[in-house]
Structure 1
């Protein structure tokens, strides 16, 4: 039987929701159901010459069920365990959005507190706490003695603690 394009278009419009629902019920996955519903109509189009013209709903339903069964039995669908080193690449290092926002607010707060310090404590505190530089790196960059920087950082910590406690009251 030669395909009647208009009749086929009507069948798609009339049964697309039913076919999608069948596929979704069987696969329990929205995206797989979309693909299988599309494959159902594509298969029906290719095999229209086998359709006897009676009851397109039953014919399309049978195609959809068979497509879903084949999909569910497919060995390509089986999931393989992901090696730990590959799984590590997929992890989000930033954490949850709430944690990221909280972390950003804390860093901004610390930067603000460091900005309230007087020199030479401000530059050491900002470099150490905000820019996350090590004292050895800071000594190399600035040409200052590491013991001097340690003393300034120690005093900066005491001053920051006092500022923090002042804010909490």
Structure 2
């Protein structure tokens, strides 16, 4: 293929790219499959450009696209089996993945350490709230402190924790 033909082919891709994707999308109903098939269409046209002898490149290209889509739809690779709810439940892992467990552990430890870096009275409120799962209303009842005071302390503790968390990555 000569350089002029390559430049002309690039122009065809720019000119007919959306049309080819639209055709492929109408067959597949899936944008990602349509993109793949459009790419295959242009690749096939590029490889077989010497076979094009007509005047209407657009018609030739759309025929290639339609044939690629028909082949794709008939392809056994495309067939996707579905699982019943019972089958899915049998396959589902009831526990978190090792990666999730590790990330949760480290993140929890990091936050706990950051809470312990807070000064009183923010430390106690943060540790009780985030790690002991004690509600502010229960803390107020147990300690005799005003609920509004505890809310303010938790709010400030969150702001301080946010600053400490960001400092870790600087």
TM-score, structure 2 as length reference: 0.52
Number of corresponding residues: 120
Q: CA deviation at 1:61?
A: 0.3
Query: Does 2:130 correspond to 1:130?
Result: yes
Q: Could you list the runs of 4 or more consecutive aligned residues of structure 1 that deviate by over 6 angstroms after TM superposition?
A: 87-90, 165-168
Rg larger in 1 or in 2?
1
Query: Which position in structure 2 is the counterpart of 1:143?
Result: none
CA contact (8 A) 2:45 2:61 kept: yes
Query: Which position in structure 2 is the counterpart of 1:10?
Result: 11
| Superposition CA RMSD, Å | 3.9
Q: Distance in 2 between matches of 1:161 and 1:65?
A: 76
Task: Give the direction of change, closer, same or farther, for the CA distance of 1:164–1:70 in structure 2 (3 Å limit).
Answer: farther
CA contact (8 A) 2:140 2:147 kept: no
Task: Give the direction of change, closer, same or farther, for the CA distance of 1:162–1:78 in structure 2 (3 Å limit).
Answer: farther
Query: Which position in structure 2 is the counterpart of 1:77?
Result: 78
Q: Distance in 2 between matches of 1:87 and 1:75?
A: 29
Q: Distance in 1 between matches of 2:45 and 2:34?
A: 16
Query: Which position in structure 1 is the counterpart of 2:49?
Result: 48
Structure 2, unaligned runs of 5 or more: 101-114, 152-170
Query: Which position in structure 2 is the counterpart of 1:62?
Result: 63
Partner SS state of residue 52, structure 1: coil
Query: Which position in structure 2 is the counterpart of 1:159?
Result: 142
Structure 1, unaligned runs of 5 or more: 94-107, 109-113, 117-121, 134-154
TM-score, structure 1 as length reference: 0.52
Q: CA deviation at 1:7?
A: 3.3
Task: Give the direction of change, closer, same or farther, for the CA distance of 1:128–1:66 in structure 2 (3 Å limit).
Answer: same
